[in-house]
Structure 1
């Protein structure tokens, strides 16, 4: 009994420590120090209820009524019936449908004064409200009005963060795919055994008799994934058109459904999705050709990102990929974590927070994802390098989505200009140069280097030469003239606008073959006339 903390001692310790996130003092008096008067009983009761609701909506706490903010004990200036009424505050002033879990409520005798003591547990079954329907939550040392939806989100987010790290008592190592574990073990280190790999990756702990498995181990390596999670799946859906319809106009068909542990899911879902990233179309030369609609690497990155960061605590939903005529939407359960915003992702600074810490680490070690936080930036870079518009990110209604559009970043003027070159099979680099020269605009070498992303002078020369041979690039001044221009006006010769794009099949094609090429290396063979042609 000597080790039992008595209520009077609890009051004494509270006075010494003071108010905190877990502790609140309330006075039973009001008015200036020299004219203190008892507070209205109903006001005190509601104050008690509000504070207890705030504690229950946070992490629990304790309330002392009869102690001032300066830690002095002023007690309760009420008779026993009224004090009993104060003890009933949780029942009378908290909404009956959202009761708080009271650990203790007592009258404490302390140094000749009566103090009310309440202790409340952290709530988990309800968002607690006062009898007036108001919601409060503990923030620092205050009971702050809070939207109930925010509390629900915080609780769900915490549950989702803890989901993959929890230990599953009934799980055994025989529930895992040993061949898969062995494969991953050899990728990481040829010297490590499957059992040691699980411990090295913090997926298991030895309790003295056997390995205890985290849920992440089951999500990643389970032989029968459906035994441990009902929605380890990715559904691929095809929408006929640009909008989903219902009823007799329903236009959604299922391409397929991938199931299995996370490693299996990555590969099987990609196999289902990949054939739908191209479109077979009838070309102008009367042939059927495959046209790439979306860059494969960007789509795979988005898919793996969804599998890595989805909210696995939501066991009622899987990942959905919808293929529209003009876009690809990947939607997974779980909104962005509260510590990351859409604006953070748009900034492309690599900001990240892992919901599934253990899953993300294993996929990183196995090479399925690169540095954490790089995924979105990599998707942006891949789309930009293919002249496509940036993806759109959404986070609402307990889901996160990324949308890739089958749409190029060309302006209407550029599109009309590029259509003039449809009969020529241009590479992305060649198309970029043609685009720079829209409607005859003069282009500098510096622009070509920067826009194409060239670092090697040889690559630049080969690109220019390929466009010359196609008959669609001319030089408006020679290399010597460009040098004189640079001397006259200052700056770098590379910055001098001297190239012009011309439409194909024009009268200038023959001219192009004889234009000055003094920028490029040439081989001269002795005893052969200079004007001899290659043939």
Structure 2
């Protein structure tokens, strides 16, 4: 985006944005620009404009070449790693020069970008709305750990011993591993098996459970880490903190502890107890369905405890589960780990494990029903999408920052009668099931990507063709590059039946309705200077074209007309 376009946009909204920063630089290149360079490099990139007053957003007189050179020096010499952005001098408002720098986001393995003289913990910033905020030590650590594989789950738990492990669960694990990999585990004693699996390790000559081993097989891990549990809250209203009809703040509020498997099962029991049920008649008879598919809820809980941050700075934070009347929310400490882009969830290569030992143990630990708690094959997220799609529900929303990941599952059907009527009103024939689902999701205000259709079972090539056809039909617009392409509804689309030739009277009536909102048939008759019957006929023609709707039955005295 050029400088004039950036300034025009800032003037339109009246404030800086998360992607644009202006400074007057009347006295030279301000040193505070280094904070913005760090913030943009650590977040999503952005544009720096020097020579524009922050308050009035009007240009100021600057020595543009000198400021350009000073900015280039700051970016190259004052930052670690150096910020490599394009710097130029452009004109705004006719002939006023400004210095512009396009700051790219740096690669995850290079973060954090910081002001060298302040050090990593004092000079790292992030962009929040229109301002720069210094990263906390915890956030800096999360960025730094992207460069290596975290090993917190391998650490020994001080004061814990092998006696703090559940002998029944341990025996089941060893039996399972000896059967599955006899060459590696046959003939080994219990201690040697557990050490090979990283369930325990030597700590100054004493055999102690690792954090992963204690969480998976411990009789009560919270004896050593009281906050490594899960809170489950059921809200009476859609707004957290609002009270219900009886003045209650919570319908249920429990802290769940024990091993990870016990926490998942207990949390699931609490949620199921508060979920509504619907009786559905199918080919084999009547069945009861919960408002959220059980497999989806279980997968979300397992993902939360398996992929959360277990570093010392996060061990005081629980996994939080909240059930609202309109949504289910699962929140876990720590951001996304590794090269994970939530917009590409579901693709085969989008999987990264922060806690490799824990993930392995959970995938090798038989539960009471004989199945493993986790698969550890990157199949969890695709399973969630598929099950929600089969249930006719909206897909989940993934949101994350450096301190937490939040997954929200809306309690809304995707293909409601209203949505189907809207799709029908588009006047398009031959839409495939995936195209219909994509339009429904767009109608709900959610963007659609190629991966969205793949998560619903479409082959990548079929997904590309389906979305390309929607673009060709004029229904959607494609934005973004090849890897980041997303599709949005085209606000300029007009259905074929709406493009039919209309009479002059109909055009005048439609324009008046769009201007006024609602009018009576008598008002339309006066406007058109025709009889009441003629006005009603013109309005009925607009109704048949799907452009106008009536607010009441034909003989009602309250009947008015409004645009659809």
TM-score (norm. length: structure 2): 0.44
TM-score (norm. length: structure 1): 0.46
Instruction: Give the number of the structure whose alpha-carbon radius of gyration is greater.
Output: 1
